Every structure is written in structure tokens, then in C-alpha cells.
Amino acid sequence: MAQKKIKKNGFHPKIVAFACNWCSYAGADNAGVNRIQYSPHFRVIRTMCSGRVKPGFILKAFQLGADGVLVSGCHFGDCHYIFGNERAVELFEKTKKMIRLLGLEEKRLRLEWISAAEGTRWGQIIDEFVDEVTQLGPSPLVSEKTK
């Protein structure tokens, strides 16, 4: 479904997906092991914990031309560092406000909790997100990035 839409308007979004080492990255791995078919238009960056993803990381991704950014980590209570994902929520809310100020659509930013066993869910979320960002079109900030 997602693939069809992408073909339609010829635009492939670039999505940066931050995944924590202990859950979400393993979740993405799980999706691969289980041969889940899903959109390839994302790049994973592994962090030790979702709490590591500072607003600066996300803005940098947009600065360098990302069309959307996904931050993912363990479910509440499962964080390897106990409260890292709670910190991630705080940072994420701050980033969201900054993204709003910059005039970027809030839908370009997403926070999800994906466990190591949820490979299918990882695939679904990426598909959904790619779909959404494709609808939004290229980020207005992309054009000048390389100059």
C-alpha cells in the first residue's frame, strides 16, 4: 500500500530513525530476521538509549535534509537505564515546539516505543510514517542544505 503511493508522486522521503540499542534497534533487527516486508526509505541511527537523542540531533537531521525523524525506544518500565525514555519524552516535547517555531509540520516528527520482539510493529510504524511524510512532500528545508 505504502509502496504504491510513493510510486505515484515519485517522491521518496528520507527518514532518519533513531533507535535505542536495547529495544528498538533489536526490534528492527527482528523485523529483518522475520523477513517483514516494509518501506526501505529510512536510515537507522543506533543510540544507547532514546534519552540520548537531544533536540540538537533531530535538528541536525533536518538541517542535513531529512524529511522526517523517528525517535524510538523501549516501552515505559523497560528502559535499560530505568528512566531514559522518560527523559526522551521531555526532550522530544521541547524539540516538537522548536520544530513548530521553524514552521515544519509536527507530523514530520514521531516518537514510538518498540520492543525487541515487535519486529512487525517496527515495519508497520515505518510504513505508516513513510506514508505520512510522503503525503507531506519534501521538507521545505532540504533545498539549501548542501550549499
Partner 1 sequence: MGDLTEIAKKTNLFNCLECGKCTSVCPISRFGGQYSPRLMITRSIQGHYDELLVDRQIWTCLTCGMCNVHCPSDVHYTEFTRLARIESNRSGQEGLCSHGGVFQSLTKIMTSSNLKQNRMDWASSDLKISKGGEFLYFVGCLPYFDVFFSDIGVESLEIAKSVIKILNHLGIEPVLLPNERCCGHDLFWTGDMINFQRLAEHNVAEIKKSGAKTVLFSCPECYRTFKLDYPQYVGELGFDVIHLSEFLAGKVANNALKFHALKKGVTYQDPCRLGRHLGIYDPPRQLLTQIPGLTLLEMPKSREMAICCGTSCWTNCDLTSKQIQLGRLRSAKQTGADLLVTGCPKCYIHFKCAQSDQNAADEVKIEIEDLATLTAEALI
Residues forming contacts to partner 1 in the complex (CB under 8 A) are 54-57, 59-60, 62-63, 90, 94, 97-98, 100-103, 140-141, 143-145, 147
Q: Least distance in Å: CB of 12 to partner 1?
A: 19
Distances (CA, A) of 125 to 94, 105, 118, 128: 22, 18, 10, 5
Mapping DSSP to helix (H, G, I), strand (E, B) and coil, where does residue 100 land?
helix
Name which of ligand FES, partner 1, none residue 59 binds, using a CB cut-off of 5 to 8 Å depending on partner kind: partner 1
Name which of partner 1, ligand FES, none residue 111 binds, using a CB cut-off of 5 to 8 Å depending on partner kind: none
How far apart (Å, rounded) are the C-alpha atoms in residues 46 and 40? 17
Q: Least distance in Å: CB of 20 to ligand FES?
A: 3
Looking at the DSSP assignment, which residues form a beta bridge with residue 116?
none
Mapping DSSP to helix (H, G, I), strand (E, B) and coil, where does residue 45 land?
strand
Q: Is 51 in the site for ligand FES (CB under 6 A)?
A: yes
Q: Least distance in Å: CB of 58 to partner 1?
A: 9
Q: Which residue is nearest to ligand FES (CB)?
A: 73
Whether the CB-CB separation of 134 and 6 falls below 8 Å is answered with yes
Q: Write the secondary structure of 84-99 as one string of H (helix), E (strand) and C (coil).
A: HHHHHHHHHHHHHHHH
Name which of ligand FES, partner 1, none residue 57 binds, using a CB cut-off of 5 to 8 Å depending on partner kind: partner 1
Q: Least distance in Å: CB of 141 to partner 1?
A: 4
Mapping DSSP to helix (H, G, I), strand (E, B) and coil, where does residue 52 land?
helix
Point out which residues bind ligand FES (CB under 6 A). 20, 22-23, 49-51, 73-74, 79-81, 84-85
